[in-house]
Chains A and B, each alone.
Chain A
């Protein structure tokens, strides 16, 4: 039972264009959603998060959008840079709940072409 799903295993975009990574979830108890970035042989690095009470959070080139009714979130990167090439994981948790564990999607490999 996969509670967080990333249906696109990979995405390729041109440098300077927008990258859009998508994520769907099934558990309505999730109240915080996060995006992590992972380079090979490194641990995941936190990128940006959004609370379930918001529908948008922006940090520089990165914006996360949350559509609670659709149980869908997306990460927009604009403009995309070659250094953004990495695996991106969507994650969620029931932060205020009794069980505090982060649930991850399977990841999307982003390749930004120079």
Chain B
């Protein structure tokens, strides 16, 4: 597709379980970002990839959160031992070298029950 694609759109999981959220960026975009948005808040930065490497992971809240981008394209955000406070919309964005804006996917709504 032409845009950023995120799967699944919705994920409900039980407290303590492990989840993986997938992001397919726009083809050719080397920069990829993960954000988290809670109700009434703006998107909060989690991690930024330039190619395969995590250039900035300063936004990851704790060591339960991890993200990979092994081939410089698709990225997976992994959350271990989920907690109810992890419930939020997780947004992925990508940016091409010549772009000054980032393009967002539709997000994955994660609900931890």
A residues with a Cβ closer than 8 A to B are 4, 6, 9, 32, 34, 36, 41-46, 49, 51, 89, 91, 95, 99-107
Do the beta carbons of B33 and A44 come within 8 Å of each other? no
Complex Cα spacing A105 to B44, Å: 9
A46 in complex: contacting residue of B42, B48, B101, B105, CB < 8 Å: B101
Give the shortest distance, in Å, between B87 (CB) and chain A (any CB). Answer: 16
B56-85 interface with A by 8 A CB criterion: 56, 58-59
Q: A46-B101, A49-B100, A89-B43 are in contact. Are A100 and B48 (CB under 8 A)?
A: yes
Do the beta carbons of A43 and B104 come within 8 Å of each other? yes
Do the beta carbons of B106 and A42 come within 8 Å of each other? yes
Interface size class of B (residues with CB under 8 A): 20 to 34
Q: How many A-B Cβ pairs are below 8 Å?
A: 62
> Which 9 pairs across A and B sit closest by C-beta, in order of nearness?
A104-B42, A43-B104, A46-B101, A43-B106, A106-B42, A104-B43, A101-B45, A44-B104, A43-B105
Contacts of B45 in A (CB 8 A): 101-103
Do the beta carbons of B101 and A34 come within 8 Å of each other? yes
Contacts of B59 in A (CB 8 A): 101
Q: Which residue on A lies nearest to B91, using beta carbons?
A: A43
Give the shortest distance, in Å, between A89 (CB) and chain B (any CB). Answer: 5
Contacts of A99 in B (CB 8 A): 48, 55-56, 58
B88-106 interface with A by 8 A CB criterion: 91, 93, 100-106
